[in-house]
Amino acid sequence: MGEALTNKRKSRLAVFEHLPTDSKKVKRDGNSAPSTECRMIINEEELQTLIKPRNRGVRLVEEPLQLLCKWTDCTDSFTDYSSYMKHVNNHVLYLEASGSKVLKCLWGKCDITIDNIMGLLKHVSFHAYHNKLKSIGENMVGRLKLPKCYKSEEFTVPGDLPDFNCDWGTCDKYFVSINDFQFHIKLHVNANPKYCKKGESIDCQWRDCKLKLSSQYKLSDHMRSHTKERVVACPTCGTMFATKTKFCDHRKRQLPLELQSYQCSQCSKLFSTERLLRDHMRAHINHYKCNFCDMTCPKPSNLAKHIRFRHMNERPFKCNLCKHSCVSKDHLEQHLTTHCGEKLMACDECDFRCRSLYGLERHYQKEHGNGWTHFYECHCCLKRFSRGNQLTKHLISVHDYHWPSGHSRFRYKEDTDGILRLQTVRYESLEVTQEMIESNNQNSTTDPKRASKHYVLMTSETGEEKVVCSTDNNVVITIADVDAKGHVVKSETMESNEMCVKNDVRLVKKETV
């Protein structure tokens, strides 16, 4: 009977058996009781079919490296990064010892000239650092079987690299090699406890940073925002990434459209993975609300642009040829084309020329688009229009539609049939919805919060965030001009006490548009 029961147990997928142990006794309420142990019984073959191989990641310090020297005709190869750096630096020092008057980078196709030896050492060490990151990227592509990268633009190391200064506390050390700089930062990070006790935290001592973190790992991850450290680079295009996940996303985003099976229901964009789609969907949720009206938007940059155009009278961008002034740099560049006598926009397929990009696009659609053009269709009466402003006038005059409070136009979404129709759904976060309810229940002129709201204003044309504080109707705004590489070349701070709060149409027909 006992043997039959045992065989029956072994034939099952999983059986939980309680086995008493006599070695130790557990006292509960003064009484001794035998403890129990839960054990799963499963045969060997079933175990192999159930256990899935775990894809264990490889630590950065354990990545095998294949480092090639690209200095002129040198073809030496290394597997140790320290030996590789010494070899590369010897090339630069030999160039200085040879008495060359021109300190020119001879790494691959790079031909940047630098006027001092320390600057050249910093520049070439970054070449070696970038080559190491590409080697790590090559390992990941083969190990994870990542898709192909189709970008043809190769990353180029700039000649004017930023200084590698340690701003941790009172350290203020300077480094020529970016690798030495990052190793030094890790010493500061590793000096903190790995985990904090309850109620305690680790302070980031970087200059002007007051963030508190709960572990050494989180501090190390946070420090990349200060040091701009990158851990991997794409071996095809050379783009560097702060995490391995971002590098994998970079490759997966370039899958052919026929292989991307996850589609956004709002903008119909396709994505290769569900996680990329989830990250994208957050961009459709309005997390930010204007403190001067009921406009809501998904990004701080949208809120900043709204405040500059709708609630401020400042026009900081002046035209040098006339008295015209503009709110943004883009508008000034568009205005400058009016002073040019030539039609700068030219068609590649015929002799047509015009002044604006919009006019050139319309020309391509009419003359070279094989009859294809965008159609705007009214979702109420199915009437079609060739331009969006025509459909806007139709919705307002015929169907009594009005755009949402704080917005100055309708938004049209392209459906699967290629026709643009009115977007009738907006997603608001719970915090924004609660704020809108509270603002509607109170008089905006007597609400003390409205005079002390802090905004994150994105003022540069490449997405640099600046903090703007509005107190007692005074707004302090910083506008930064940046070059093509994203470096700030000019910064201007101004203060405005004139807030232009414009009235918005608040009536919306039935649906929430």
CA dihedral sign, ordered 334, 336, 339, 342:
negative
Judged against a pLDDT cut of 60, whether residue 86 lies above it is answered with yes
Where is average pLDDT lowest: 1-10, 134-143, 216-225, 241-250? 1-10
DSSP state of 178: H
Give the pLDDT confidence score for residue 482 in this predicted structure: 47
**Span 471-477, mean pLDDT?**
47
Give the pLDDT confidence score for residue 30 in this predicted structure: 46
Note the pTM of the prediction, 2 decimals.
0.63
Q: Which of 409, 399, 435 is nearest to 504 (CA)?
A: 409
Task: Sort 74 into a burial class: Cβ within 10 Å, 0-12 / 13-18 / 19+.
Answer: middle
Helix (H) or strand (E) holding 249: helix 244-252
% of the chain surpassing 90 pLDDT: 14
Can you point out the beta strands (E) in 276-379? Answer: 285-286, 288-289, 296-297, 317-318, 325-326, 345-346, 353-354, 376-377
* pLDDT tier, 424 (very low <50, low <70, confident <90, very high otherwise): confident
Q: Are 274 and 280 spatial neighbours (Cβ–Cβ below 8 Å)?
A: no
Q: How far apart are CA 336 and CA 320, in angstroms?
A: 9
Q: How far apart are CA 84 and CA 100, in angstroms?
A: 24
Give the pLDDT confidence score for residue 208 in this predicted structure: 86
Give the pLDDT confidence score for residue 465 in this predicted structure: 37
Measured in Å, how far apart are the chain's first and last C-alpha atoms? 74
**CA-to-CA dists, residue 37 to 21, 23, 320, 343, 431, angstroms:** 8, 12, 84, 85, 48
Q: How far apart are CA 288 and CA 456, in angstroms?
A: 10
**Span 409-431, mean pLDDT?**
80
Quick one: CA torsion of 58, 59, 62, 68, rounded to 10 degrees? 90
Q: What is the pLDDT of residues 269-294, one digit of tens each?
A: 888 888 888 888 888 888 888 888 87
Mean pLDDT of the chain: 75
H helix intervals, 398-498: 430-441
Count CB neighbours of 219 within 10 A.
22
* pLDDT tier, 509 (very low <50, low <70, confident <90, very high otherwise): very low
* pLDDT tier, 188 (very low <50, low <70, confident <90, very high otherwise): very high
pLDDT, greater one: 354 or 187: 187
Helix (H) or strand (E) holding 121: helix 117-144
Q: How far apart are CA 350 and CA 352, in angstroms?
A: 6
Residue with tokens 């994870």: 144
Give the pLDDT confidence score for residue 285 in this predicted structure: 83
Instruction: Locate 317 and state its tokens.
Output: 């961008």
Judged against a pLDDT cut of 90, whether residue 232 lies above it is answered with yes
Judged against a pLDDT cut of 90, whether residue 233 lies above it is answered with yes
Q: Which of 200, 223, 184, 248 is nearest to 55 (CA)?
A: 248
Judged against a pLDDT cut of 60, whether residue 447 lies above it is answered with no
Instruction: Locate 246 and state its tokens.
Output: 């971002």
Residue ranges of domains in the chain, CATH in brackets: 2-50 (no CATH), 335-427 (3.30.160)
**Span 9-35, mean pLDDT?**
41
* pLDDT tier, 493 (very low <50, low <70, confident <90, very high otherwise): low
Give the pLDDT confidence score for residue 13 in this predicted structure: 35
